[in-house]
Structure 1
Amino acid sequence: MYYVYILQSKKDRHWYTGYTDDLRKRFKEHNENKVYSTKGRGPFELIYYEACLNQQDATSREKYLKTGMGKRYLKNRLTPFRKDSITGLNIYYE
């Protein structure tokens, strides 16, 4: 099983999208500054994930979620549940 996940930096509130076959391990690596692409941007919170049956599905889904349409999908899906939407603050996407 593979997972596509979205992390939000508690530091700058930007979102990071990735995929892994071990979600707990990867989340820990992000928060311990062991991932080059997010180093220095933590701590993070896991705000969304999807389970995929194989790596090919996970990479395809990750690629889609990084597109404009994918970001719009995530924003529409997550905004009602995010604390940020109550305050009217902007959410930043990468």
Structure 2
Amino acid sequence: MGKKYNIISRSNSISDTLKFDSEKYLEKLRKLNGILFDLDYVHHEMESHQQALDLWDGKLISGTRNEELKNLLNLRRASLVGHLERARLIKTSLGRKK
């Protein structure tokens, strides 16, 4: 995909922040276990997927001029939405186990 559109992956302020935040979160997660781990993890997944959708809409799709690529990004967006919805369902089911 990247080769077809001559897309080159490189670090930038957004990717650097995401990487730093992920590493910081992993440190926190390592200290949790049981239901506290599960609840925190699924909450973080919901936040991460929402953040990805915000970036997807605000940067990727809106910044793409190539219509074929824009259509592909819109198709992949549906997958992100599905992941977010599944995380919400899991959080609801975990909330009953407290």
Normalised by the length of structure 2, the TM-score is: 0.27
Q: Which structure's residues are more often strand, by fraction?
A: 1
Normalised by the length of structure 1, the TM-score is: 0.28
